[in-house]
Amino acid sequence: MEVTIYRRHTKQCPHREDRYAPRCGCPLSGQFNWPQPTTKFDGKKLKHGQNKWSLNARIWSEAQQNSTKLKRELEGLLEGKPVRRPITVEAAVQNWLAFKSSNGDTITKPELMGRKLVDWCRRNDVVLLCAMTPDQAVNFRQSLPFRTGDSSSLSVHWSVIGGFFNWAVGMAYISSSPIPDPRQKPQFRIRYEKPEVVPPTKQEVDQVLATATGRVKLLCQLMRESAMALVDAQKYGMSAEDCKKYGLSKPERRPIIRGTLIRGNRTKTNERYRVRISESLSRQLEALGEPAFPGTYREWRERCYKAFKDADVDMTPHGYRHFRISEWLAQGVRPEDVADMVGTSPKEIRKTYRHWIKEAEDRLDEIQRQSWLAQGLGENGDPKEQPIQ
């Protein structure tokens, strides 16, 4: 099957006499003959005989790529191969969320991004998923409110949409993702530089613990001693039924408690961790009963922020994790051991907390000392005193 590319000129175009004008900016279409009875394909009417379809391009090279793709799909239809199913964006998003939920995956961000995609498509008259083009996908990305530059927020949320389109390809809703591949087209890569992690000071941490009361204080103390993230610390003492009751994801990753020992898999990454807390804190948590912190994650996050506000301290619940990790490293605990305690890789520990690693500082100090000695200076970099003749 041949697809002939031609220009559909406007009345004002000076090249309207030449339907194959290579440098004209008018839209490009493809003309082809369909040998079988009239049917539907890609949400459009595929007539027996001659068809003229838009190639959604104005540049000749892009139109050639789209025509090759259209030709391949039409030939596949002739051979009886599975073709794209005309499903709406909204229906596809609902199916995706149901699929993730049945797998036990967290759907907080997918729900948010799915809702934003559906709303954007409504405003821009995109009904069918298969009608989504790369330029529309990029325009949708540019409409998102997430900060970038010094934040990974846009990158994280955009990866969720990328996962949706890849899932849709697997479901044969679309033949390929409309998101440009940043590995092949690096101009579409989301670039950002994460700021250096600055943990709260010991004074700020102590101030919060001195101000907070009740269960909020014990939750803060638990994060401070264990470096657990709030999403993991809140599940302390919860059963799988408790997690379902309060709408918490991944109950299989809740902490397992044996006295002062806590071990489990992080909710965010599924990385294993193993850490101990003080015996006094363990007894206080045990006295709360199970679960120690009943309620939703959002409720406890808001309670923590209220405690920070009351203490007049500018920090987040994740600040306890940064503080405890940097504290261990500054005390000389090996990054490999810290990684095991907090559930991440030694490489990530070294990358994120490099300026807090005491062994690295000691090594650099020794290199500097040896350099001074090689120059004939003293250990502190001062000239050696000459012996009195």
pLDDT digits (tens, 9 = 90+) for 231-284: 999 999 999 888 888 888 778 888 999 999 999 999 888 899 999 999 999 999
Q: Is residue 343 part of a domain?
A: yes
* Mean pLDDT value of segment 42-52: 86
**CATH number of the domain within which 155 lies:** 1.10.150
Are both 211 and 348 inside the same structural domain? yes
Q: Is residue 383 part of a domain?
A: no
User: What is the number of other CB atoms lying within 10 angstroms of the CB of residue 202?
Assistant: 10
Q: Is residue 291 part of a domain?
A: yes
Q: Is residue 377 part of a domain?
A: no
* Mean pLDDT value of segment 26-32: 92
Q: Angle between the 214-226 and 318-330 helix axes, to the nearest 10 degrees? A: 40
Radius of gyration over every alpha carbon of the chain, rounded to an integer in angstroms: 30
Give the phi and the psi of residue 111 in degrees, each rounded to 5: -65, -45
Q: Angle between the 89-102 and 108-123 helix axes, to the nearest 10 degrees? A: 180
Are both 161 and 224 inside the same structural domain? no
Full residue range of the structural domain in which residue 50 is found = 4-78
pLDDT digits (tens, 9 = 90+) for 334-369: 999 999 999 999 999 988 888 777 766 677 788 888
Are both 316 and 176 inside the same structural domain? no
Tokens at 338, concatenated = 């810290």
Report the distance separating Cα 257 and Cα 203, nearest Å. 30
Instruction: Give the end of a domain, one of 125, 156, 188.
Output: 188
Are both 225 and 104 inside the same structural domain? no
Assign 386 a pLDDT band (cuts: 50, 70, 90).
low
Q: Is residue 373 part of a domain?
A: no
Are both 48 and 105 inside the same structural domain? no
pTM above 0.75, yes or no: no
Concatenated DSSP letters for 151-201?
-SHHHHHHHHHHHHHHHHHHTTSSSS-SS--TTT-GGG---B-PPPP-PPP
Report the distance separating Cα 252 and Cα 264, nearest Å. 9
Are both 36 and 61 inside the same structural domain? yes
* Structural domains in the chain (count): 3
Are both 352 and 219 inside the same structural domain? yes
Q: What mean pLDDT is reported for the chain?
A: 88
